[in-house]
Chains A and B, each alone.
Chain A
């Protein structure tokens, strides 16, 4: 079957099977920044924004994305300019292997879009579904705090 959706601002029409997940389809269509760590909704590596909300793409059937808007990590930087969250991840040393990073960044982008001044607890809550085995989260939390501050300043 055929689905129509907007991915990173561009309208797309894709042929999908009924059982395909959004994760399968996005990767197949070249959005390799969307990662798979489990396929069962437990790791958050596949996080994308669906109509602005962070979801696990491995748990969303592709057909359910019909008519909706998807943002993947490839769509976060604008015209070669990193998003403040991406910048902060680099500066704070929040990236080790980087496999959890796309999902983690998108969870943070989603958080900051509706809560510009989150507490540490709110940050932890927002990324609690994104498992990272490398960093111990310390620098990721610090990066999100740094990004939030920078975004507030530039408002």
Chain B
């Protein structure tokens, strides 16, 4: 059934080259700053040197007088509206705790003032001429400090809203129950408990944040920006600057990666304000250093997992407690925390008793945000470490243990309904789950049975293999929305307009493939325009692994409507009723083989009879969020002399439903795995005792290069999601959750130590080895 369905596709399921690929390999000017910016003002920001301070006074007179300075912005001359920088659906689940410029700074790297000048050099000199007097305040630089009674309060302003308990630095609090874990633990034969901590990490898209603001002929503000959420940018900039939505146009050209960090409105308010004030175009680019210190990060977390297991090998009770450090502002604080539970616990749905609780707390450190994996990454470290331990103590193979306990097709989990996007979730039954097959394929690829528990030694190096499983979601049910418009041209081509946001993921391509499939045309006949708020219908943007599933379904529906219109025009041409017609090979084909070309059909509709534009718009708000599934396997070598970990072979076997474009889907997983390996082994933002980032460069903050990667095998298993467009689910995020627990479990297999703090640096590994 599955196989037959996917074999019937003509364009879907094919690894078509990306529709924007040719321009990208030839270096065409496709990115924000690639247009002529010679007449644009350059914006530079003065960032706070203190982790926590009040701005006692700020004197910009000298800076303003400098030749070449167009304007200087501070809290004195900019709108004071509290808002969130998190680009989420409205009303946002993140607190309104940020202002364009505030009278208080809350981390080293917070905004103090901005200068717009003719050149970067002038802007830099003007920044140096701004005189600020700070009243330094005691700072909280860790989760524990933030939670201590009497701790300094990060958000003591009276006009912030949506904070759970500002007096205790608590941004968000989540507590949900299924059954009764206390009883469940009492009834269990084995209890395993583990606490794992994850570090501050940064997305490091190779293109940093950048926006070009300008005015169009009607003086409307045009923001050409590197964003994942053009429509949210428009709404939040309108709200922040106090101007109507219709006076803003947001355009996302090609962008150089996002990974969540561009689901945030970080520069557009300032650039927009400068342009409105000066009537000049303005370019605001974050330097790499600023990207590290002042954009967004992955929320560091401490996650404790307690698992109660019966002798039968069935997990009977799970408790997960997560404490998340959201830094100085609460962007995504609640939702990342909630996802730590909601995207992990349903995987082990045999547990009749479950408890998830936790808090997100403010500190005077860089701000957390959305980062691929979105809390699940942090949760799976602890959960899959605990499951590995439980299997070992039961004397069960970890694969067998997962097979007994993991969710299957036709099953649900009460967690789905209890816990959603920072509020109640949506009940659902899993309709496609090929986890068993994923485990089978993965075990074979890595050579599980021959390599497991062998502790093969080569000099000081010891080898081990480990595994882990996981799920994610496909969009946010009953919240996310995608929409698509398709219109037909007289040569039988179609314009596909989508609000969906291609970050480099290839979504323009796969959405076009879906349209091409329905309309019976080759990919080249679908012309994609995406992410322009003046032109394309609404879409929440690229986050929560939503695009393929949500926007893809909108495209499928729009294409189906257009198909109906085409058949309606063709029916009288062929003298048969529409039910007896099909779209294939750029023609409408009747049962007897009579056919008429699409271009003929469109010419008739445009110029000849009952004229109208063949076009349709459709939307999708999903009623569920089918999880993709992933089985991970890694073979690692541990140098017991130096503590160095080498990943030798990584296998990821994925059930993402039908892969609309298999090669692009593999690429999503490969990229996520390598990012995850960096997160597991080397990437860590380090701080001075005063909260300053000590390694804000790509030299000191080590992301993997081509020499650092192991052999990686990504396998997509055959699967079909009945609720998805063409049988598809998501694939963008899930891969990043794998490396940490998989490598940790492999290290345990090799040397018998459990690492519970990322990244697994040589120092931490050596220290752990010495403890045993």
Q: Which residues of chain A have a CB within 8 Å of any CB of chain B?
A: 28, 30-35, 37-40, 42-43, 45, 72-74, 76-77, 82, 86, 89-93, 95-102, 105, 123-125, 127-141
Minimal beta-carbon separation of A143 from chain B (angstroms): 10
Is B406 located at the chain interface by the 8 A CB criterion?
no
What are the 9 tightest A-B residue pairs by CB atom distance, in nearest-first order? A33-B27, A97-B504, A99-B256, A98-B24, A73-B27, A136-B674, A136-B670, A32-B34, A93-B663
Alpha-carbon separation in the docked complex, A110 to B663 (Å):
26
Residues in A with CB closer than 8 Å to B21 are: 89-90, 95, 98
Known contacts being A40-B288, A130-B706, is A139 close to B27, with CB within 8 Å?
no
Is B26 located at the chain interface by the 8 A CB criterion?
yes
Query: Do B698 and A125 touch across chains, with their CB atoms under 8 A apart?
Result: no
Known interface pairs A32-B35, A90-B22; 15 further A-B residue pairs with C-beta atoms within 8 A, sorted by A's residue number: A37-B208, A82-B25, A93-B663, A93-B666, A95-B25, A97-B503, A98-B25, A98-B254, A99-B31, A99-B256, A100-B256, A101-B27, A136-B675, A136-B712, A138-B670
Minimal beta-carbon separation of B716 from chain A (angstroms): 13
Query: Do A101 and B24 touch across chains, with their CB atoms under 8 A apart?
Result: yes
Q: Which residue of B lies closest to A38 (CB)?
A: B288
Is B150 located at the chain interface by the 8 A CB criterion?
no
Majority-rule SS of A interface residues:
loop
Query: Do B667 and A139 touch across chains, with their CB atoms under 8 A apart?
Result: yes
Minimal beta-carbon separation of A68 from chain B (angstroms): 20
Minimal beta-carbon separation of B694 from chain A (angstroms): 16
Alpha-carbon separation in the docked complex, A132 to B705 (Å):
7
Residues in A with CB closer than 8 Å to B68 are: none
Query: Do A99 and B206 touch across chains, with their CB atoms under 8 A apart?
Result: yes
Question: How many residues belonging to B are interface residues under a CB distance threshold of 8 Å?
Answer: 57
Residues in B with CB closer than 8 Å to A72 are: 27
Q: Which of A33, A92, A134 contacts B28 (CB 8 A)?
A: A33
Q: Which of B287, B288, B697, B705 contacts A128 (CB 8 A)?
A: B705
Query: Do B698 and A76 touch across chains, with their CB atoms under 8 A apart?
Result: no
Minimal beta-carbon separation of A136 from chain B (angstroms): 3
Residues in A with CB closer than 8 Å to B663 are: 92-93, 139
Q: Which of B506, B671, B697 contacts A40 (CB 8 A)?
A: B697
Query: Do B26 and A37 touch across chains, with their CB atoms under 8 A apart?
Result: no
Query: Do A138 and B256 touch across chains, with their CB atoms under 8 A apart?
Result: no
Alpha-carbon separation in the docked complex, A32 to B253 (Å):
14
Residues in A with CB closer than 8 Å to B709 are: 124, 136-138
Minimal beta-carbon separation of A40 from chain B (angstroms): 6
Minimal beta-carbon separation of B292 from chain A (angstroms): 11
Q: Which of A28, A37, A40 contacts B206 (CB 8 A)?
A: A37
Is B257 located at the chain interface by the 8 A CB criterion?
yes
Is B707 located at the chain interface by the 8 A CB criterion?
yes
Query: Do A86 and B25 touch across chains, with their CB atoms under 8 A apart?
Result: yes
Known contacts being A82-B26, A90-B25, A138-B712, is A42 close to B17, with CB within 8 Å?
no
Is B339 located at the chain interface by the 8 A CB criterion?
no
Query: Do B259 and A42 touch across chains, with their CB atoms under 8 A apart?
Result: no
Is B699 located at the chain interface by the 8 A CB criterion?
yes
Known contacts being A137-B709, A138-B670, A141-B706, is A97 close to B25, with CB within 8 Å?
no
Alpha-carbon separation in the docked complex, A90 to B699 (Å):
29
Minimal beta-carbon separation of B761 from chain A (angstroms): 20
Is B204 located at the chain interface by the 8 A CB criterion?
yes
Residue-by-residue, is B698-714 near A (CB-CB < 8 Å gives 1, otherwise 0)? 11000101110100101
Is B640 located at the chain interface by the 8 A CB criterion?
no
Minimal beta-carbon separation of A145 from chain B (angstroms): 13
Query: Do B205 and A101 touch across chains, with their CB atoms under 8 A apart?
Result: no
Known contacts being A125-B707, A128-B707, A133-B257, is A97 close to B206, with CB within 8 Å?
yes
Is B29 located at the chain interface by the 8 A CB criterion?
yes
Residues in B with CB closer than 8 Å to A99 are: 31, 205-207, 255-257, 504
